[in-house]
Chains A and B, each alone.
Chain A
C-alpha cells in the first residue's frame, strides 16, 4: 500500500524538526562527557528521520537497515556500507499506514518500522536485512519490498540447528547470498581482508561495551541504565569508528565517577531483546528503585565476545554465530531454559527478575513461562510487564513495578 500522497506523514506532524548532523559526525566527536553524549543520543532517538543515516548518506555513502536481533554487521561494514540497527519508530510515530498491510495483533517495532518506510522516512537506506528471528520479522521482508521499491530487501535465514555439522557451511552460503545482493545495491565488492579489518573493529567495540555493562553490574551506582542504554544504542546508529572513540571517553569518565549507592534492589531485565522499551519506561524502572544489573537490551553487541580474525573471515563469522552462547527467545535452546535463567540470576547476583516483553512478541512471551517455572522453584521473585511503543500510560507499569520493589524491600 504505497503512501497516499494526500496523507501527511504523521511523524512530521507531532515530532520536532529533524536534527541535522555534520557529515563527519563532529557533534559526536566533540561530545566530551557522558552527559553531552546522552543528550545527543536522546535527540537522535527522538528523531524518526534517521539523522545519523542522513548525515552518512549525504556524502554519497550507502546505508543498510538491519532489523534486530542479529545480522552480520561486520560484513556489511566491510563492504563500505553503514550498518544501521533498526528499532522502530519510538514514541513519536503514530501508526496510520502500517496497520492495514500488516495486521493489528503485532508488536510495535514491526508496525512502526513499516510505517516509517511507508511514509518515506526510510528513503536514505539502500538496503534492508531482515533476519528470520520470528515469523513477523520474516514476513515483514516480503511486505517491505513494496513500501521501499527502490531499495534492496533481504531475508536472512539464521540457522536454528546448532548441532549439525552443516550449519556453518549453510550460514556461509547465506552470507554469500547477502553479499551478492549488497554488491548489487552499491556495496563495494566483498574482500576478505576488508572483512578481517571490520571484524577487528567490531571486536574492539564489543570489548568496550562489555566493560560498560560490567561496570553496570559491579558498581550500579555509577551509571544509570538510561545512560548505559543510550550509549549502547548509538553503537548501532553511528559509524563504528566514531562510536569506538566515544566509548573510550565514556570509559575514562566512568573511572573517575563515584559509585553512589541508593536503597535499590538488583534486578535482571529479561525479554526486550528485539523491540526496545521506551526511554520513559527504562527510566521508570530505575526510578521505582531497581538497579538493573544485567539486561537483554540491544543484542547486537553481545552475541559473542570476539570473532577470530585469522583464517577465512566469513567462515569465522558464521562459526562464531553458530557457537554463540547467547540464550534469548529467538535462538533455539531446547532443555536449557531453566538452567540458563538461574545461572544468569546467580551471575548477576540479582534479587529478582523483571520480564519486560514487547506486546505481541511471541518468542518472548513463550519463554517467560519456562523462566517463571524455573524461578518459582528457587523462590526468586519476578514481575512480568508488557510494553508498547506508543503507550505512554505508564501508571499501570509504575504500579506493578512499585509493588514488585515493595514486596522485596518491605519486611
Chain B
C-alpha cells in the first residue's frame, strides 16, 4: 500500500490530504501565514498526526496551489486546476464541470471522463466574488464566514448588492445593516451576486451536469442552494470539498509512483 500526500497551499488556507488505497486517511487545514514553506510542512505533519502515521511512510508528496513551489520537501508540483479536476473526479466520477471558489479566485474547470482538464476559466484581476469577498462581508455583518451558510434561509427580499468591489461591498453591507435590513436578505443578495459571476465563468467552458462545487466556499450552504437554483439542478458537494485540490495532488503523486496515467 502506498501512502501519498497532497499539499495545497492556497491563497488563504493550507490543506493536506493523505491517501492510501484510494481512501483519504488523514487531512489537515490551517490558515496560511507568511512563511509558506513552514505552513506546508505543518500541513503535512498535522495530517500525519491525524492519521497516526510517520513522515517516512509517505512515498510521494505533491504540491499544488499558488504556493506549490513552496512545498520544498515535495517531489512534484501541479497546478490547482489540474488537481481540482482530478480530485473532483475521484469524489464524483461523473463530474463534467468543477466550480472551485477559494479565497481569492474562482475557477470553472471542464473535465473529461478520466478526470483530465479539458478547458478552464478563471476570474480576472478582481477579488470580487471570491471567498475573501464573503469573509469580509460576513465580518461586516458581525459573523464568521462559517456561520453564514444557513443564515440566508428564509430571506424574503434579497437586497441588491451593487458593488462588485470587495472593499466597497463591505461598506454597502454595513450601510444595509445600519438601515435595518434583515441580514438574511443581505446575504441572499451577496450570494446572488457571486453566483451570477460564477455562472458567467462556467458559461465560458460550458455548463453540463454533473457539476461539482469545490473549494472553501462550497462549505457555505447558502451558496450551494443559490447555485442550484440558478442552474436548475443539484450540484455535488463533498464534506471533503475544501480538500479537493490536495486530494487531486495526492492522486497525481500516486499515478506517478505507479507509473501510469489514469
Contact = CB atoms under 8 A, between A and B. Distances in A.
A and B touch in the complex (CB under 8 A): yes
A37 to B, nearest CB: 28
A100 B200 contact: yes
Interface stretch (A5-13, A140-148, A164-172, A213-221): A5-13
Interface in A1-30: 1, 4, 6-8, 10
B203 A100 contact: yes
B160 A6 contact: no
A104 B168 CA distance: 19
Contacts of B121: 100
A4 B162 CA distance: 25
Given A96-B199, A96-B200, A97-B200, A393 B163 contact: yes
Contacts of B201: 100
Interface string A385-397: 0000011110000
Given A96-B196, A100-B204, 18 more contacts: A1-B204, A4-B203, A4-B206, A6-B209, A6-B232, A6-B233, A7-B199, A8-B230, A8-B232, A10-B196, A96-B200, A96-B203, A97-B203, A100-B201, A392-B160, A393-B162, A393-B163, A393-B168
Interface string A369-411: 0000000000000000000001111000000000000000000
B231 interface: yes
B23 interface: no
A104 B199 contact: no
B37 interface: no
Contacts of B231: 6-7
Contact of B207 (A4, A104, A391, A393): A4
Contact of B162 (A96, A104, A391): A391
A95 interface: yes
Nearest to A6: B232
Interface of A: 1, 4, 6-8, 10, 94-97, 99-100, 104, 390-393
Contact of A104 (B124, B232, B233): B124
A390 B207 CA distance: 25
A95 B160 contact: no
A336 to B, nearest CB: 38
A9 to B, nearest CB: 11
Interface residues of B, number: 21
Contacts of B168: 393
A48 to B, nearest CB: 16
B160 A1 contact: no
Pick the 4 closest A-B CB pairs, nearest first: A100-B204, A100-B203, A392-B162, A99-B200
A7 B207 contact: yes
Contacts of B232: 6-8
| Candidate in A94, A96, A97, A392 with the most chain B CB atoms within 10 angstroms | A96
A6 B203 contact: no
Interface of B: 121, 124, 160, 162-163, 168, 172, 196-197, 199-201, 203-204, 206-207, 209, 230-233
B207 A6 contact: yes
28 contacts: A1-B203, A1-B204, A4-B203, A4-B206, A4-B207, A6-B207, A6-B232, A6-B233, A7-B199, A7-B230, A8-B230, A8-B232, A94-B196, A95-B200, A96-B199, A96-B200, A96-B203, A97-B200, A99-B200, A99-B203, A100-B200, A100-B201, A100-B203, A100-B204, A392-B160, A393-B163, A393-B168, A393-B172
A405 to B, nearest CB: 24
Contacts of A8: 230, 232
A95 B203 CA distance: 11
A324 B23 CA distance: 75
Contacts of B162: 390-393
A8 B204 CA distance: 16
Contacts of A100: 121, 200-201, 203-204
B195 to A, nearest CB: 9
B26 to A, nearest CB: 38
Nearest to B197: A96
A398 to B, nearest CB: 14
Contacts of B200: 95-97, 99-100
Contacts of A95: 200
| Candidate in A97, A100, A390, A393 with the most chain B CB atoms within 10 angstroms | A100
Contacts of B199: 7, 96
Contacts of A7: 199, 203, 207, 230-232
A4 B97 CA distance: 14
Nearest to A390: B162
A95 B129 CA distance: 14
B23 to A, nearest CB: 34
B51 to A, nearest CB: 40
A7 B199 CA distance: 9
A99 B108 CA distance: 14
A6 B227 CA distance: 12
Contacts of B203: 1, 4, 7, 96-97, 99-100
Nearest to B175: A395
A8 B160 CA distance: 19
A246 to B, nearest CB: 33
A95 B197 CA distance: 8
Nearest to B160: A392
A10 B199 CA distance: 11
